[in-house]
Amino acid sequence: MRAREAEVFDLGYQRYTGPREGRNRARLALFENGVRTVLGIGRGGRAKILPVGLFLAVITPAVVFVTILAFLDPIAGDDATQFIPGPADYYSIVSVILIIFGAIMAPELLCPDRRDNVLPLYLVRPLTSTDYLIARFLAFFSIVLVLVYAGQIVLQAGLILTAGDQVDYIRDNWQDVPRILFMGALIATFISVGPLAVAAFTTRRAYAAAFIIAAWLLLNSISDGLTFQECISEEFMQDGGTVSSTTECTRPVGDLAPYIGLLNLGGVTDNLNNMVFDVDLEPGEGSPSSMAVAELHDAFPIGVYVLWTGIPALLLCHRYRRIRL
């Protein structure tokens, strides 16, 4: 049998002679890829529908408030600002949308890579699993932070432009700026860490999103139901007139209500928001859980926030250290 002759084809392969930018460039590339993945950049139009829709959902309340303010300003003057929510109220309003955004979009960063087993390809470069997690977290955190601040910027711009004296308004309300920045960072951290930690334990994005939303609804319903305050008023009459009246308020769990209220996932950031903006809740202004937690020392809401962000972060790191890459 005659052996075949070997042939060598010149396909034009050449050694890479460009600059070797090292580990930091690989980290930056992974960060940029994460941002593009969440926003659907580089993919079809359908991939952009959800992020664009959620972004508009976050911005819409601010646009509506500013529009209302613009119509009321010629009528009510400086009192028009009393008819729309302020910076503290805005964060409470959009927190639900942000949680949904985190539940749906965060798994996009972790689940496909683990399902398709492409993590070893990332580690061919001078990257570690810690580098991978930090880049993914910062990518999602940056997007959430932009969402959080965007609505506040629109709202503050409207408040300033419709004020009778813009300089006086800025002078009287400049303290809101550091509060907005600080609280926005806290909210973005909370929205980013939890969903990413859940996504680390499954390769199916739908499962991660469903678990996050279900946990949020369940804990909120339980905590609000157990902390709901029912008040009964009694009036004592004599000779056709009221002599005295008493009001007695009770909760299903009694004195445990403030601690049960700490289980409310939506209230984790709302409670801090009230502290940062120095908001005193009046009866009926907040959820039953928030009203109950307001009775506790400030250390309790702060501690709960640390637990809800710290524990998922530790689980996320531990999970990726155990994964065989």
Residue 57, both tokens? 């959902």
Q: Tens digit of pLDDT for each residue in 30-44?
A: 899 999 998 888 777
- The residues facing 235 across adjacent strands are 245
pLDDT value for 248: 63
pLDDT value for 113: 87
pLDDT value for 216: 92
| CA–CA distance, 109 with 99 (Å, rounded to integer) | 16
* Residue 14 in this model has a pLDDT that exceeds 80: no
| CA–CA distance, 217 with 214 (Å, rounded to integer) | 5
* Residue 303 in this model has a pLDDT that exceeds 90: yes
* Cβ neighbours for 135, distance < 8 A, ≥ 6 positions apart: 27, 30, 31, 34
| CA–CA distance, 301 with 289 (Å, rounded to integer) | 12
Residue 55 vs residue 230, higher pLDDT: 55
* Residue 236 in this model has a pLDDT that exceeds 60: no
Share above pLDDT 90 across residues of the chain, in percent, rounded to a whole number = 27
- Residue listed under structure tokens 């806290």: 186
Q: Phi, psi (5° rounding) for residue 251?
A: -125, 155
Whether the CB-CB separation of 144 and 188 falls below 8 Å is answered with yes
Mean pLDDT of the 88-94 span: 86
Share above pLDDT 70 across residues of the chain, in percent, rounded to a whole number = 86
pLDDT value for 180: 93
Mean pLDDT of the 220-234 span: 78
The answer to which of 57-61, 214-218, 236-240, 303-307 has the lowest mean pLDDT is 236-240
Distance of CA 41 to the CA centre of its chain: 22
Mean pLDDT of the 182-200 span: 94
Which of 21-25, 45-49, 148-152, 160-164 holds the top average pLDDT? 148-152
Mean pLDDT of the 149-178 span: 85
pLDDT value for 21: 74
Residue 10, both tokens? 């010149």
Mean pLDDT of the 227-238 span: 66
Average model confidence (pLDDT) for the chain? 83
Which of 49-63, 72-86, 226-240 holds the top average pLDDT? 49-63
Considering the entire predicted model, what is its pTM?
0.84
Whether the CB-CB separation of 191 and 101 falls below 8 Å is answered with yes
Mean pLDDT of the 206-218 span: 93
Mean pLDDT of the 295-320 span: 92
* Residue 92 in this model has a pLDDT that exceeds 90: no
Show the 3-state SS of the chain.
CCCCCCCCCCCCCCCCCCCCCHHHHHHHHHHHHHHHHHHCCCCCHHHHHHHHHHHHHHHHHHHHHHHHHHHHHHHHHHHHHHHCCCHHHHHHHHHHHHHHHHHHHCHHHHHHHHHCCCHHHHHCCCCCHHHHHHHHHHHHHHHHHHHHHHHHHHHHHHHHHCCCCHHHHHHHHCCHHHHHHHHHHHHHHHHHHHHHHHHCCCCCHHHHHHHHHHHHHHHHHHHHHHHCCEEEEEEEEECCEEEEEEEEEECCCHHHHHHHHHHCHHHHHHHHHHHHCCCCCCCCCCCHHHHHHCCCCCHHHHHHHHHHHHHHHHHHHHHHHHCCC
pLDDT value for 119: 83
Residue 132, both tokens? 């991978």
Mean pLDDT of the 8-28 span: 77
Mean pLDDT of the 285-298 span: 83
